[in-house]
Structure 1
Amino acid sequence: MTATDRALELARAAAAAADDKQATDIVAFDVSDQLVITDAFVLCSGANPPQMSAIRDAVEEKLHGLGAKPIRREGEREGRWVLLDYADIVVHIQHVEERAFYALERLWSDCPTIELGLPQ
């Protein structure tokens, strides 16, 4: 099983929105073979809570424009790890320190990455 076309569209849109707000280390994994609850994870980092809020807002705005609404949001108050669950995809916006500590890339390294088409 692979991620649906819709999941790929949303993952790429979320990544582009995060990139517009200077998020770093943007990567996406096709987790559809490992999880039944979602098709893709999008991971990105922000340097501070205001930047992370800007990334969150940009992702939500971009995906709303594509007709997607989050079914769950977590971590907004703490400002160190924001999770946006869109069912088809889950977006993780992490402070750089949390990103290094939790190392989600290591946990999902056996899953295929999704080509995001972002400028290098």
Structure 2
Amino acid sequence: MTASAEARETALLAAQAAADKLATNVSIVDVSDRLAITDAFVLAAAPNERQVQSIVDEVEERLRQHGVKPVRREGVAEARWVLLDFVDVVVHVQHAEERAYYALERLWKDCPTIPFVDASAPPADRAAAGAGTLSADDVDPAGAGSVVLAPDPDETGPDHLDAAADGASNEDLLDDDVLDGDVLDDDVLEDDPLLDGAGGDAGDTGTTGR
């Protein structure tokens, strides 16, 4: 099973809006085969809280213009990790430090990606990044900006992520260093969208908390 056409369109629009506000590491992960409650994650980062908020505002406004509104918003006050839940698509806008620490691409490395080419990039760069692939510009000609996520074949990821790929339970993952209480403070854990999971188990990465 792959993300629906509607979900792909929404994800591309959101990614384009983030890129227009100079978000970094913009990527789309198709999680439809792993999660029943959403089809895709849009991931984006920014170097400071002010830009995180600017990206969030632009994503909401761009999708609202297309009749899509979030059913849930989390982390807006802190602007370190903001989650926008559009049902079929969940947008994660993170401060660069959170993006590096949580490494969501590696957490979901077994899922396919949806190619996203920056519409504002020079033609040569666009051709090199994803010739013949769909970009947000194909969905919304008024938009501009994006990046292709290309998995690193040499990257094996942390042991706890490899264990997840081998069928380790969510409970097993909780014992690992991703949720090391010595690293994360209570505020981060309370605002962590991935910890607001079904069944009440903190750290359950298989839900967006609806």
TM bracket, shorter-chain basis: over 0.9
Greater strand proportion: 1
The one-letter amino acid paired with 1:22 is: L
Gaps of 5+ in 2: 126-210
Q: CA RMSD in A?
A: 0.8
Q: Is the 8 A contact 1:41 1:91 kept in 2?
A: yes
Q: Name the structure 1 match of 2:82.
A: 82
Larger Rg: 2
CA contact (8 A) 1:3 1:31 kept: yes
Q: Which residue of 1 aligns with 2:104?
A: 104
Q: Is the 8 A contact 1:12 1:117 kept in 2?
A: no
Structure-2 separation of matches of 1:103 and 1:50: 21
Residue 101 of structure 1 aligns to a residue in which SS? helix
Q: CA deviation at 1:78?
A: 1.1
Give the TM-score normalised by the residue count of structure 2: 0.56
Alignment coverage as a number of residue pairs: 120
Identical residues among aligned pairs (%): 58
Following superposition, the deviation at residue 74 of structure 1 comes to 0.1
Describe the SS at the equivalent of 1:111: coil
- Taking the TM superposition and a 5 Å limit, the aligned residue runs for 1:1-120 are 1-118=1-118, 119=121, 120=125
| Structure 1 residue 66 displacement after superposition | 1.1
**Structure 1 unpaired stretches of 5+:** none
Structure 1 residue 116, shift from structure 2 partner:
1.4
Q: CA deviation at 1:117?
A: 2.5
More RCO (CA 8 Å, sep 6+) = 1
Q: Give me the TM-score of the superposition, normalised by structure 1.
A: 0.97
